[in-house]
Structure 1
């Protein structure tokens, strides 16, 4: 996924399904400079973790 799409998803009022390595996640925020997003598991609400935005996939 690219940075602009991550920002669109973050600002959207709609629930847009996103996966990280096949696991459904919520995008909590994004860091433009590092190209990293902080995500939590959509089903588990695990601890937030930073991931490369390129590894996020929109369903």
Structure 2
């Protein structure tokens, strides 16, 4: 996913289906400099992790 689309998803009031390794995730934050995203699985909000934006897929 490119950084602009990720920012649009984060800013959207709607829930947009995004996956990481086949798991639906919530994008919590984006670091533009490093092009990394803070995400967590929808069913496990305590499992936050930093991943490259290129690893995210919009469904």
Give the structure-2-normalised TM-score: 0.94
Residue segments in structure 2 that go unaligned for 5+ positions in a row: none
Q: Measure how far apart 1:43 and its partner are.
A: 1.6
Q: Which residue of the partner structure matches residue 49 of structure 1?
A: 49
Residue segments in structure 1 that go unaligned for 5+ positions in a row: none
Query: Per the alignment, in what secondary structure is the counterpart of residue 25 of structure 1?
Result: strand
- 4+ residue segments displaced more than 6 Å: none
Query: Per the alignment, in what secondary structure is the counterpart of residue 10 of structure 1?
Result: helix
Give the structure-1-normalised TM-score: 0.94
Q: Which residue of the partner structure matches residue 26 of structure 1?
A: 26
Aligned residue pair count? 59
- After superposition, the CA RMSD in angstroms is 0.8
